[in-house]
Amino acid sequence: MTAIPQGRTRRAALVTAICALVVSGTGLTGCSEDPDEGTNGVGKLPVAEIQRKARTAADTAEAVHLSGNLVTSGRTYKLDMQLKSDGATGSLTAQGSTFQLLRIGEQLYLKADSGFWSDAGNDGKADAGAVDKLNGKYVRVPQGDPAYKKFSGFTDKDLLLEGLLALHGKVATDGRHEQAGVRTIRIAGDKGSGGTLDVSLEGDPYPLLLTRAGDGGTLTFSDWGKDFALEKPKKGDTVDYGRQLPTS
């Protein structure tokens, strides 16, 4: 048996300890000489190229599931939306009210309970008969109604991604991380104050986690490229609002 020099043993113990710290601190599953081993190689690229590849992957994906909180114009919205180029389906929560959004092509539908519609009248008190008519039904939103532009924005994949994926300030990489079991490279604007974006290091370089600047919310992206069905509501489940929809 050959004796192992004491110095080498100490160095090996030190390397093991460092690896343990790295793994526990970043969520990586191992410690190797090459952190990009087994990845798509995006982590080796300049930050501008990482941004470009992530945006290209997002733009070309057929579909995505977007969920989390979005703060805009002083209001907080909770989103849980499946999006693709020709439509979307999911839920939106704002000011304590949750309603369903469905867009198929240019046609937008809104589905909510009686509590939502009770507060939807111009004076805050909708007619009881109208509430019963609208409760739990898919309400067609006319394209000329001001509410159409406001609500349809939450169903537009390209529009949402264009506004969300931009970071502010000087952008730099911010280490390796993990999101839902997938290794990521994080990029940050102004050391995080301008927002951060985790980009997948496995498979296509899709965005997986976004933290918006200025406490603007946190959103997760999943099911990239996974198609889903969009079905037009049955005639008996669809009604017209009859007057201008609320935009607040």
Quick: pLDDT tens for 41-100: 999 999 999 999 999 999 999 999 999 999 988 889 999 999 999 999 999 998 888 999
Share of the chain above pLDDT 90, in %: 60
For 43, residues 6+ apart whose C-beta sits below 8 A from its C-beta are 35, 36, 50, 173, 176, 185, 201
Range 147-168 average pLDDT? 92
Whole-angstrom distance, CA of residue 171 vs CA of residue 51 = 9
Instruction: Please measure the distance between the N-terminal and C-terminal CA atoms of the chain and give it in whole angstroms.
Output: 79
Q: Report the length, in residues, of the chain.
A: 248
For the question of whether the overall pTM of this predicted structure is more than 0.85, the answer is no
Look at 132 and 86; give whichever has higher pLDDT: 86
Note the pLDDT of residue 9. Answer: 43
More confidently predicted of 30 and 64: 64
> Which strands form 196-200's sheet, in the order they lie side by side?
171-179, 182-189, 196-200, 207-211, 218-222, 63-72, 75-84, 87-94, 97-104, 107-111, 138-141, 238-240
Structural domains in the chain?
42-240 (2.50.20.20)
Q: Evaluate if residue 119 carries a pLDDT over 80.
A: no
